[in-house]
Amino acid sequence: MASPWTVEQVIGMAPDAASTSAGRKLASAAKWQRLGQTDRLVWGEIKGSGSTPYQTCIDTAGPAFKCSCPSRKFPCKHALGLALVHAASTSAFAADTPPEWAAEWLAKREARSERETKTAEPLDQATEQRRVAAQSKRRDQREEKMQAGVEELQRWLADTLRQGLARAMEQHQPWDHMTARLVDAQIPGLARWLRRCQEARYGSEQWQDTALQALSRLQLILDAYQRRETLPEPVKADLYELLGVTQGKETILAQPGVADTWRIMGKWTGDADRLQVQRTWLRGERTQRWALLLDFAVANAVLPITPEEGAGIEGELAFYPATWPVRALLKTRQGTQPAQPSALIAACEGLEGLYRSYAERLAATPWLERIPAGLRDVTPVKLDDHWFLIDAEHRRIPLARHFPLRWELLAMGGGEPVQLFGEWDGDAFFPLTIADGSRLQGFHALHMELS
C-alpha cells in the first residue's frame, strides 16, 4: 500500500495558508466516496458544487496530484484533504483496482516518464559530437552576455554611488531596471544579490552598515569574475554558482557518492524569483558532514517530500564542487530511519563554536551567505523591539527579523534555555528546528499550520 505522509508533510505541500485551511475542512473520511489505494496511487471522490463528484488522485511516487475540480491552485484543497485523510488513517482506503480515470492518468505519467528515459539514452558518436559542439557554443554565448552584464553593472554602481548612498538607496526604479538587465544577461545570482543590497535599506535602523557590507561583497564578486581564469577550481565553482550558473544534475550524480545515515536537521520553504525554494539541511552520523539539499518548483508543481526532522536517510549523497562542498543531491537511497532528537542535540555547540565555524568558512568563501548551526542552551528574549538569543554567559546574538515565529519560540522554551538548529548569516540567526524534550519540532511545518 502507499506509504502515508505525516500531517506536517501534507501541510508543507500546500500552496498557501488558505488552501491549508480549506484542505483541513475536507480531512474526514466520511466526506469522501470510494476511497482506494495501491502501492503507488491514492484516490477518492467527493461531492462538489455540481451533480458529479470531483475525482481526486495522488501519485505518491511524485508526488503528483490530479483533480477534476476547476481550481487553479496546485495541489487543490481536494488533493490536500485526500492526503490528510490518508495521513490520518490508511485503513479508510480499500486496497483496490484503480478506477479508469485514475489508471488512465497514471498510465499517461508513466508513458511520459518512459519517453524522457529514452531521450536520455546514449546517442551515436556523430550526434553526441554535434550536441557537445552546440553546448560549447551556448556556453561561449552565455559567457559573452555575462561579461557584458558584469561590465554594465560595474559602471552603474560607480555612477549610482557617486550620488551618495542615502540618495541612491531611495531611488527604486534604477535598481529595478539594473536587476532586470542582469536577468537578461543570464546572471540571475547577481540580480538577487543586487536586490538584497536594495532591500537592506528597509532591514533595520542600522541599514547603512548592512547595505555597505552587501555592496562590498558585490564588488568582491565582480572583481573575482574579472579574474576568474586565475582562481582555483573550487573557488571558481563557488563563484559560478553564486552567479546562477550550476552544473547539471547528471554531471553531479555521475560522481562517487558519500554513504552515511543523513539526519534531517532542519528545513524551510520560501519564494524566490517566482519559484518555490526548499532548503533541507542534513548531517552525516558517521562522517559528521553537513549537506544541503536545494529543491525548486514552479507555482504549479510540488516540492519533493522529505522525512521529518531527526529522521535519517540511509543512502549516498553526491556533492557539488566548492571550496566548502555542502550542496548535494541524493544519489542512492536504501531506507529511512525513525527520528532521533539526540542527533540534533549532539550537533549543538556554544557561541564560540558558531563564531569559529563562520570565520573559517568566510575566510575560504568571502561571499558566503549562510552556514548551518546548532546552538546549545540559548534563551530567546525580547529587549525593547528587538529579539535575541542569550547564552548562559549573557552573550547574545540577534534573532533574524524575518523569522515569523518569535513568540511561539519563546512559548515553547517557557523562558528556559533551549537547543536550536538553524542558519547563521553572520548577522542574525534563523531557527529551523527546536529540540523540545524528547521530540523535535520543525518551525516550517508549525508556520504552515498556524498560517
**Which residues make Cβ contacts (< 8 Å) with residue 250, sequence separation at least 6?**
none
Provide the pLDDT for residue 9: 81
Which pTM does this prediction carry? 0.81
Average pLDDT across the chain, whole number: 88
Question: CA quadruple 357, 361, 366, 372: dihedral positive or negative?
Answer: negative
pLDDT score, position 187: 92
* Position 119 pLDDT exceeds 60: no
Mean pLDDT in residue range 195-205? 79
Q: What is the pLDDT of residue 171?
A: 84
CA of 398: how far to CAs of 31, 316, 376, 408, 434, in Å?
A: 47, 36, 15, 16, 17
Q: How far apart are CA 243 and CA 221, in angstroms?
A: 9
Q: Give the DSSP letter of residue 91.
A: G
Average pLDDT (221-233) is 94
pLDDT band at 419 (very low <50, low <70, confident <90, very high): very high
- 25-37 mean pLDDT: 90
pLDDT tens for 38-72 read 888 999 999 887 788 999 999 988 788 999 998 88
Give the chain's radius of gyration (CA, Å).
Answer: 24
